[in-house]
Structure 1
């Protein structure tokens, strides 16, 4: 049976490719993004019977609810929610303003919460649904120069794990999708943001990290079109994974994190167990 998708951040990158893959599979798509004109240009020629482009700033709860209401009025249901909207706040923690921190969480974390909260009542009523939350390798391992971005993705992963246990009783499955480096505009100047307060003590490291990320812009190994097709496969699975790592680099990061956690746990297990009350 064909599905109705609600996708945030659909005008480019992974969101756009997922929308194209869903349409190619015969599904219908509510494609949302901050710039409606850009959405309409990207999806020109696709009939309204299978596509509904909507302007949406996920950080605005009122706009989120209006978009979800419009989607339900148009298609009657939402089968798959792809929470993809987000951006990368790079830079060293002390060089990023409090306002920039709040903006990063407003989109990457609270925006995802806003959309999920608005969609869940319809999925509960249907007693079915798939939620795909786009995280990152940065949701598994924090790295210098992206501590705040990683913090938002760690929040998405913890939320998704807990939510999955809450909504499974309604036939709703939640999958965390952790991409590695994919060839999108993520590291482009049109998307990425850097710290706005230079601190002399960090100058060398800050410059080194900026050069590292700049060198990988549009050089990433991951194919966003292929990931879009894989997301459609995940949405079709009867028993989808709780966590899916996308890209060989993401697999390597996860394996390394598992090995590090095990080694550290084993090394300090006696000390850990020693904190129990004596019985």
Structure 2
């Protein structure tokens, strides 16, 4: 597909998805002159995560002036959510990409499609400004985020970073998967059109981690060289953290031990599948997930 046709198709896919989302929220892109908007984004960070997570105003201003993007969602002129990204560079690819650093929504406005819309607005801004890829991190134990990132947005993950943010207050390492969103790939365009990425038959994939009747991870032996694998993930890590932090910690290390060697060996997370009450990551060889 020629570049112009690809861009038109890409924009059309984003618009179709946007039309299905909440209509009474307004989305604005901050310019360097929009000082109140930039300060509102800082206030949202403080409200959502506390003082330790707040990005300094001068830093946000400098990043907006130098290839970054700040989007703010408003409901009746109240700032209720935002996304914040800055430019980065891949020496291997020889290209700049956009690093999506923060996305936050006030608790009372969650589960209303705002997060999805912020990602779509961010994507359109990135394409207009010459970026081909957006990268961000997420907790591999957050199956809900994983489904949004991989299945609904069409991203893939091929890198696992241990203790990305150190340890939580409960002493659990804050590991992260690095999600890559190739903005105009056929995979992403298909996902935004509502088509789930094609994956191998689940029954033909070996399980490296499954979930027991008690909700604990059960690890299985690793046979190298297969086309794909499945790794279970708990249905609600937040509930587990509240009710059984030790079991949550056990899940952290079970996923780390399964995913790190696979991703280091050239595999990539390409989907999530539900098997009865269980949810599994689908991990395929790198060659199997090119667009």
Is TM-score (shorter-chain normalized) higher than 0.5?
no
TM-score normalised by structure 1 residue count? 0.31
TM-score, normalised to structure 2's length?
Answer: 0.31
Structure (1/2) with the larger helix percentage? 1
Identify the structure with bigger relative contact order (alpha carbons < 8 Å, sequence gap 6+): 1
